[in-house]
Amino acid sequence: MLRPTPRLSSRLNRTEMGWREKIWQINWSLIAILTAISSVGFLTLYSAAKGSLEPWAVKQMIRFAMGIGIMIAVAIVDLRFWMRHAYGLYAISIILLVAVELKGTIGMGAQRWIDLGFIQIQPSEIMKIAMILTLSRYFHGASVQDVGRPTFLIPPLLLVLLPVALVMKQPDLGTAMMVLMSSGAIFFMAGVRLWKFGLLLAAGLGAIPVAWQFLHDYQKKRVIIFMNPDQDPLGAGYHITQSKIALGSGGLFGKGFMNGTQSGLNFLPEKQTDFIFTMYGEEWGLFGGLFLLGLYVLLTAFGYAIALRCRSQFGRLVALGITTTFFLYFFINTAMVMGLVPVVGVPLPLISYGGTAMLSLLFGWGLVMSAYIHRDLPIGRRGGLDD
């Protein structure tokens, strides 16, 4: 009896997986860490509302539940699907960014939101993910030699600069920096030579005086205040000064849950969004801060582990790109509230109150999870469709 040649290994050479099998593959530890971080957020939002689930904590919990659902859905979708539609998503993001530019709702003095009727979306959030997918796809098929050719690097560079320019125009300096930096990380991981980064950096520094001209007044002010926050403690430097007071007064062990005076008495601006870490730090002290930082580092480490275990370059780049974006989120936010970097509108991931960020972050982790589930899936040069 002739039987079909058995496959060498069911694990190594498969191109298809059933959804049941995928669900079995879900990395629950990762979800546990995400849940732990988000729970810190719920508690802090509860405290920020002076011991009430309203108005923030409950909504945040619902969004988290939705986000986890989206994340699992994204994770189960074949990684090749995301690769295949990377450029499309990028194109859509660009269109949305332009749309926002043309007729965006004014929010926080910047055009960032687009109202689709049932949901308000922030195209720049989608762009963060689309950018990672696009670059990962671009570099997926590139050999080490390809990456070494400068001409090969010009298209992705343009792909990066176009949305960055659009986001800057909104103006959203924080997101622009984030896109730029996470893109840089992917370039780096793809094997671009370090001296090329040096060259780019030098060019970038040289462009600073030119870029300064294009900055809005409030952005210039923020940078100046960052340099010397004490000069105007009640004016524009207020945020940083009050944030440092709140954090510092927390001390080693904090003032205790629900006992934050500075945030509780509204000395702290934006305590439920961008400055939530300050509130958390005031109440839980240095140890609380280190605990949260530990969770973030653990999550980052998971992202690295998944990236390193991935067989496909696309999966590796996506996992690392998302992880790096996430890292940049929490680093920039915490460094900002501690007065290490200028105040830019970057939320504390999974903790700051806000729907879009929560959903897009969990969408991103869904992609990382997908890379984990499909870690052994070899993907050909063109997304495995022509293999």
Partner 1 sequence: MYHDNDRSKLFSRRALLLAGGKGTLISALIARMYYLQVVEADRYAMLSEENRVSMRLLAPPRGLILDRGGIAMAVNQHNYRVLVVSEQAPSLDYTLDALSQIISLGEHDRARITKEARRRRSFVPITVRENLSWEEVARIEVNAPDLPGVLIDVGQSRFYPLESLGAHILGYVSAVSENDQTNNDPLEELPGFRIGKAGVEKIYDMALRGRGGTSQEEVNAVGRVMRELERREGEPGVDLALTLDLRLQEYAAQRLGDESAAVVVMDIHTGEVIVMASTPSFDPNAFNRGLTHEEWKELSTNPRAPLQNKAISGTFAPGSTFKMVVAIAALEAGAISPEQTVLCRGHTELGNIKFHCWKKGGHGSVDLINAMKGSCDVYFYEVARRVGFDKVAEVANRMGLGVPTGIDLPNERSGLMPNRAWKRKALGQPWHPGETLINGIGQGYCLATPLQLAVMTARIANGGRQVVPHVARDLITDKDAVPRPAPNWPSCGVSQRSLTLVRKGMNAVSNEPGGTAYRARIDQEGMWLSGKTGTAQVRRITMRERETGVKKNDELPWKERDHALFVAYAPEDAPRFSIAVVVEHGGGGSAVAAPIARDIMLEVQKRERARVAEMDRKGQG
**Positions in the binding site for partner 1 (CB under 8 A):** 143-144, 185, 188-189, 191, 242, 244-252, 261-262, 265-268, 281, 285-286, 289-290, 293, 297, 300, 304, 307-308, 313, 316, 320, 324, 327, 331, 334-335, 338-340, 381
| Shortest Cβ 265–partner 1 spacing (Å) | 4
Let me know: does 57 contact 127? Beta carbons within 8 Å: no
| Shortest Cβ 95–partner 1 spacing (Å) | 32
- The tokens for 182 are 């996470």
- The tokens for 355 are 């729907």
354: alpha, beta or left, given left = phi > 0 and alpha = psi -120 to 50? left
| Shortest Cβ 251–partner 1 spacing (Å) | 4
User: Considering beta carbons, is residue 98 or 297 the nearer one to partner 1?
Assistant: 297
Pair type for strands 110-115 and 120-121: antiparallel
Residue whose token pair is 């869904």 = 366
- The tokens for 195 are 């001296």
User: Considering beta carbons, is residue 170 or 241 the nearer one to partner 1?
Assistant: 241
Rounded alpha-carbon distances, angstroms, from residue 107 to 111, 179, 376:
6, 20, 44
Q: What one-character-per-residue DSSP string does 65-97 give?
A: HHHHHHHHHHHHS-HHHHHHTHHHHHHHHHHHH
CA dist., res. 30 & res. 149, Å (int): 37
User: Considering beta carbons, is residue 63 or 140 the nearer one to partner 1?
Assistant: 140
| Shortest Cβ 55–partner 1 spacing (Å) | 18
User: Considering beta carbons, is residue 96 or 147 the nearer one to partner 1?
Assistant: 147
Q: State which H helix or E strand residue 42 sits in.
A: helix 28-48
Rounded alpha-carbon distances, angstroms, from residue 222 to 59, 232, 280, 337:
31, 12, 24, 13
| Shortest Cβ 48–partner 1 spacing (Å) | 14
Number of H helices, E strands in the chain: 16, 3
Let me know: does 310 contact 371? Beta carbons within 8 Å: yes
User: Considering beta carbons, is residue 59 or 188 the nearer one to partner 1?
Assistant: 188
User: Considering beta carbons, is residue 5 or 266 the nearer one to partner 1?
Assistant: 266
| Shortest Cβ 220–partner 1 spacing (Å) | 24
User: Considering beta carbons, is residue 113 or 372 the nearer one to partner 1?
Assistant: 372
Length of the chain, please? Answer: 387
| Shortest Cβ 209–partner 1 spacing (Å) | 27
- The tokens for 216 are 């809005």
Let me know: does 75 contact 370? Beta carbons within 8 Å: yes
| Shortest Cβ 182–partner 1 spacing (Å) | 11
User: Considering beta carbons, is residue 214 or 253 the nearer one to partner 1?
Assistant: 253
User: Considering beta carbons, is residue 73 or 290 the nearer one to partner 1?
Assistant: 290
User: Considering beta carbons, is residue 194 or 210 the nearer one to partner 1?
Assistant: 194
Amino acid of residue 344? V
Q: Give the sign of the dihedral formed by CA 338, CA 343, CA 349, CA 350.
A: positive
> Strand 110-115's sheet: what is its strand order?
105-107, 110-115, 120-121
| Shortest Cβ 214–partner 1 spacing (Å) | 27
| Shortest Cβ 267–partner 1 spacing (Å) | 4
Pair type for strands 105-107 and 120-121: unpaired
